[in-house]
Amino acid sequence: MAAGAPSSSPSPILAALLFSSLALSRVQAIVVYTDKEVHGAVGSQVTLYCSFWSSEWVSDDLSFTWRYQPEGGRDAISIFHYAKGQPYIDEVGTFKERIQWVGDPYRKDGSIVIHNLDYSDNGTFTCDVKNPPDIVGKTSQVTLYVFEKVPTRYGVVLGAVIGGVLGVVLLALLLFYLIRYCWLRRQAALQRRLSAMEKGKLHKAAKDSTKRGRQTPVLYAMLDHSRSTKAASEKKAKGLGESRKDKK
Amino acid sequence: MLLLLLGIIVLHVAVLVLLFVSTIVSQWMVGNGHATDLWQNCSTSSMGGVQHCFSSSANEWLQSVQATMILSVIFSVLSLFLFFCQLFTLTKGGRFYITGVFQILAGLCVMSAASIYTVRHPEWHSTSDNSYGFAYILAWVAFPLALLSGVIYVILRKRE
């Protein structure tokens, strides 16, 4: 009984744990990214990019491997290997002294540069990345084409000419409208200032006449109270009014 | 006045149609059994009358000819649209400057496209027994008409 009970109860739990770990590990995989095609000119260099996505953190045991399969050939030879922080470059094969490691494992970049291209370099390059414990995944391939002169892709010149001319025309139009708007605004401001000055002169003259108008009724009111002769009071008022005018 | 307006619009639309036909139809150069243009080369085989069409080469000069032809069509369409805009918004006595400028630009684009094609066409097809097709001639015809139309717009004044 005691022997039977422990044997039966952990086994379904163990089975469940095993199944879940298997399922999880199936979701884990490395995904490698490279270009599809790369064009290079004879004698120049070309960069073969390789990047990856992994569900694990970048470990110290990360390794990159580049393989080369010549055009029309069937075997792929290994030309580059990077492991444990040390790059190993081909020193005896066709790529002797032509490969340069420019990748950064901590940036998930495993790119290499091939210098001094030749027509015999046409072929397919495979990038293989292993990030223990994440080792299951598909590799990615990039095909290298070597030309005498790299042809520009169709549409680059077309797009550039259309975009350039339209851009220049639009810019010229915008500039023209901006300058015209500024000039019109300055004209309007000048006009306003001119009319304001004229208005100011008239307004000043009107102000003076109203001031005089306001003061004389006071004088007349005082003179009414005094009860002196009308002619004498009028003469006085006139004299005072004139003196006040002269003061102004 | 209305007659003048109608005449100008008819001229503009005629220029537009010429530009469209010249850009799209495949008859810039014709030879015995094959015709090439900006976008594809088509050749009819002698037996059976089957037509094979291939895309034209990706030569830079051919691309610039394509680009300037497309630009001329764009400018002419913009010019027509701006003409109708300006017809209703321009003050009395004003001139249709923008319309005229765009139409003149379209004419200059057609001229540059046809000239580049004339000078550089040996680069993308080598056969020598070719004569120029009607689309090429239409492009050259569209150039002075577009210039004329643009100049008329610049001189024209809006009246009530």
Q: Do B71 and A165 touch (CB under 8 A)?
A: yes
Residue at B45 is within a domain: no
Please give the average per-residue pLDDT across B9-29, as a whole number.
Answer: 91
**What pLDDT, on a 0 to 100 scale, did the predictor assign at position A248?**
45
* pLDDT at residue B16 tops 80: yes
**What pLDDT, on a 0 to 100 scale, did the predictor assign at position B52?**
78
Interior angle at CA A164, CA A178 and CA B153, nearest 5: 60
Q: Do B105 and A155 touch (CB under 8 A)?
A: no
| H/E stretch holding A197 | helix A156-226
Q: How far is A174 from chain B (nearest CA, A)?
A: 12
**What pLDDT, on a 0 to 100 scale, did the predictor assign at position A215?**
54
**A123 vs A206 pLDDT, higher one:** A123
> Which of A37-41, A55-59, B146-150 is the least confident region?
A55-59
Residue at B44 is within a domain: no
Closest in B66, B70, B105 to A169, CB measured = B105
**What pLDDT, on a 0 to 100 scale, did the predictor assign at position B129?**
66
Q: Do B63 and A158 touch (CB under 8 A)?
A: yes
In this structure, are residues B155 and B8 in contact, taking their beta carbons and an 8 Å threshold?
Answer: no
Question: Which residues in chain B are closer than 8 Å to A169, comparing Cβ atoms?
Answer: 75, 105
Residue at B147 is within a domain: yes
DSSP string, A57-72: PPPTT-EEEEEEEETT
How many beta-carbon pairs under 8 angstroms link A with B?
A: 34
- Please give the residue range of the domain that contains residue B142: 1-29+58-158
> pTM of the entire structure?
0.61
**What pLDDT, on a 0 to 100 scale, did the predictor assign at position A143?**
92
ipTM: 0.83
* pLDDT at residue A239 tops 60: no
**What pLDDT, on a 0 to 100 scale, did the predictor assign at position B79?**
94
Residue at B119 is within a domain: yes
Q: Do A162 and B60 touch (CB under 8 A)?
A: no
Question: Which residues in chain A are closer than 8 Å to B75, comparing Cβ atoms?
Answer: 169
Q: Do A155 and B60 touch (CB under 8 A)?
A: no
Residue at B53 is within a domain: no
Identity (one letter) of the amino acid at A85?
G
Interface-testing mutation among B38, B60, B85, B109, with chain A (most A C-beta atoms within 10 A): B60
Q: Do A158 and B68 touch (CB under 8 A)?
A: no
Interior angle at CA A67, CA A62 and CA A70, nearest 5: 170
Domain count for chain B = 1
Q: Do B68 and A169 touch (CB under 8 A)?
A: no
Instruction: Provide the strand spans (E) within chain B.
Output: 29-30, 34-36, 40-44, 51-55, 131-132
* pLDDT at residue A218 tops 70: no
Residue at B47 is within a domain: no
Percent residues over pLDDT 70 in chain A: 75
Q: How far is A170 from chain B (nearest CA, A)?
A: 11
Residue at B42 is within a domain: no
Residue at B52 is within a domain: no
**What pLDDT, on a 0 to 100 scale, did the predictor assign at position A17?**
72
Question: Which CATH number belongs to the domain containing residue B79 in this structure?
Answer: 1.20.140.150
Strand A63-70 versus strand A37-41 pairing type? unpaired
Strand A86-89 versus strand A77-83 pairing type? antiparallel
Distance (Å, whole) CA A185 – CA B70: 38
